[in-house]
Amino acid sequence: MVLYPVIRRLRNKRVVLASASPRRQEILSTAGLRFEVVPSRFKEKLNKASFPTPYAYAIETAKQKALDVARRMHQGEWKREGETEKRRCERERDIDRLPPARAPTRAREEPATEKDLRAPDIVIGADTIVTLQGLILEKPVDKQDAYSMLSRLNGKEHSVFTGVTIIQCSCRDSRLDMEISEFHEETLVKFSQLSEELLWDYIHSGEPMDKAGGYGIQALGGMLVEYVHGDFLNVVGFPLNHFCKKLAELYLTRPNEDLPPAEHDSIPAVDTFENLSDAEGRGQGGAQGQADRPRALGRKNSVPSRMVDSLPPTPLLELLDGFKASKALFTACKMKVFDLLQDEAPLGAAEIAQRIEASEGGTGRLLDVCAALGLLEKTDRGYSNTELASLYLPSGGKYSLHPLIVYQDEHTWDFFTDLESAVREGTSRHRGAQGRTVDSLFQDRFYQSQDRKLQFLRAMHSLSKLTARQVATAFDLSRFTSACDLGGCTGTLAHELARAYPGLKVTVFDLPEVLEDVSGFQPDRARAPRVSFVPGDFFQDSLPEADLYILSRILRDWPDDKAHALLSRISGSCKPGGCLLVAETVLDEQKRAARPGLLQSLDLLVQSWGRERSLGEYGRLLQAHGFEIVGAARTGTIVDVILATRTTP
């Protein structure tokens, strides 16, 4: 079985599926996973418009489903309240329809025992949605709604997303601690061009009524589908292949325990600083990437010649060309290719070349490279933005990374040409010139001119928009009434905190030269009355009073002596019982996860005196100033979040 190595690790674990879907139960049972079924009661009424992507909505829904079940089981409510006879019979009937060999483990019906009432070890939540051109099509409410959905899909290609959440639970002093892992899977499905009569025949069968998008591909709905690109089981309701890989990351590839999990009911407590595992470093630099590396074969020159065939240098060649891919992205953004195709598409190479005032031959090569990198779609009619490019690359988009890309191209790129000297000397030549101090260089780095300052502010603003919501909600901060975001720049995180916690007033404290230009970055609506901006230098000026202080991507910019100086000032302003929220990329203790943390540490080597740190290093840094870490959580973005409380007067 695919999951067998993981199953041995889960043999004594209590695994719970937070879904009544017989399709998900069948898929997991077929894989050999033993689990209980406890349907979630979470009302799926999240505001879809508040999510940057459809899959973000699916992931959040899956997470809320799993959280609901984890909390109820921890409290023992699920067994005490029981099910109505009607619901139990319906569930039994659904299960009995499955082939006997594939029937999932049923939720127990015996009286509750001590084991029944203990918290689960693992809770799995999932949510599947169908999207067409960014519009989410969930389950139809009636036959007319089903017809409307199927008519929209008729003859078109659409995406099916499943968001999956895996919650690893543990109890500590009767409190529930949860470590959350999330992922999503996308599958492309193309409907044939179908007659209205055929659509209505399918609707009258009754099958569309409990299916996302109004069809079930595993049954009669399969006759509507012309082709599927991707994981078929994902369309059925659960991406088994991706799930298996995720479990392997969590239970097989990591050498030791992850960082202390975040508790979502209250602020968690931890006794030790655990290692921040690289299991979350997914994709190229994560656990799977580590598993794909060849093992050491002994002495340097002892590799048999036959290994050249079994260990081709493809990953090395891809790394060798990595800078070319980055420069292609930078150039296409700078020449506004994605802006042009956002408004008019598809367009041929000749038309694009004319519009961006470039050669046709050179433009064609650049466009083909962007298509190969997954940034553009190329058809006989011309080039169009992919969904990823449409969301993040046009300069005017809500979540545009265009300002950050331009900044990387015009400034960071040049710094990296000095990497060798920075490694040899421990400092960049740019930084070592003319005997500059840390303080003066840090300010010169961004504020040499008004144009450069604005470029930097735009880059940081675009990056903050991608992480602010996850940072603001990584822990339950509703008990705080005042917060101070030190170095909060344009206030993106402050506004997100104010939206998430109606009782919280947030002060952004940053240099006067920064705040004089932040008005252009505020929300279109009137500035939130609970967000204010106060000019000052956090190394020199008095800090605003607050229950909660925030450092988001600040400590990374400073060496230890400056970090200690800043934390000392915060400690002096923070009353016992107050807290400090730190948002940074946290390295695993062995420093093996290549992305994003270690690559960013090189960025800091060539551009400043700062560095990325591990959770243990942050723990020791904070503890020196009377702060004790009470929780640490991954957000699924480029930053992790640490919550520390002021314990000593």
Asked whether residue 199 falls in the same domain as residue 328, the answer is no
CATH code, 52: 3.90.950.10
For the record, the structure tokens of 390 come out as 């449409």
The mean pLDDT value of the chain amounts to 76
Give the distance, in angstroms, between the CA of residue 638 and the centroid of all CA atoms in the same chain. 8
CA atoms in the 13 A half-sphere facing the CB of 501: 23
531 & 629 share domain: yes
Residues 570, 465 share a domain: yes
Residue 384's CATH number:
1.10.10.10
* pLDDT confidence of residue 449: 65
Residues 376 and 510 in one domain: no
Q: Is the pLDDT of residue 158 over 80?
A: yes
In the chain, % of residues over pLDDT 70: 71
Domain that holds residue 547: 439-646
Residue 211 domain-assigned (yes or no)? yes
Q: Dig out the tokens for 465 from the structure.
A: 């928009």
Domain match, 211 and 83 both: yes
* Side-chain half-sphere CA neighbours of 559 within 13 A: 11
The reported pLDDT for the residue numbered 107 is: 36
- pLDDT above 70: residue 443: no
Residue 381 falls inside a structural domain: yes
Lowest pLDDT segment from 86-90, 210-214, 630-634:
86-90
Residues 224 and 371 in one domain: no
Please give the average per-residue pLDDT across 83-95, as a whole number. 42
Boundary of a domain, candidates 206, 227, 253: 253
Are 248 and 140 in a shared domain?
A: yes
At residue 264, what is the residue type? H
Cα 618 to Cα 344: distance, rounded to the nearest angstrom: 49
Query: Is the same domain home to 469 and 344?
Result: no
What is the total count of domains within the chain?
Answer: 3
Task: Please tell me whether residue 506 adopts helix, strand or coil conformation.
Answer: strand
Asked whether residue 295 is assigned to any structural domain, the reply reads: no
**Cβ count within 10 A of residue 522:** 16
294: in domain: no
Does 342 map to a domain? yes
Give the model's confidence band at 177: pLDDT under 50 very low, under 70 low, under 90 confident, else very high: confident
Which CATH number does the domain housing residue 536 bear?
3.40.50.150
The model's confidence at residue 331, banded by pLDDT at 50, 70 and 90, is: very high
pLDDT at site 116: 45
Instruction: Kindly state the DSSP code that residue 110 receives in the 8-state scheme.
Output: S
Tell me: do 393 and 530 sit in the same domain: no
477-531 confidence digits (pLDDT tens): 999 999 999 988 888 899 889 888 989 999 999 988 888 777 777 775 545 678 8
Q: Hey, CA dihedral for 15, 21, 26, 27, is it positive or negative?
A: negative
Number of neighbouring beta carbons within 10 Å of residue 142: 10
Residues noted as catalytic: 127
Cβ(579)–Cβ(629) under 8 Å? no
Helix residue ranges, H only, 18-113:
22-30, 54-75, 77-81, 85-96
pLDDT at 338 over 90: yes
CB 105 within 8 A of CB 36: yes
Q: Nearest CA to 340 among 327, 324, 356?
A: 356
d(CA 289, CA 281): 9
Q: Whole-prediction pTM value?
A: 0.48
The whole-angstrom separation of Cα 244 and Cα 234 is 13
**How many residues can be counted in the chain?**
649
Most confident stretch, 418-422, 601-605, 632-636: 632-636
Range with lowest mean pLDDT among 72-86, 311-325, 548-562 = 72-86
- Tens of pLDDT along 249-285? 887 654 444 444 444 434 443 333 333 333 333 333 3
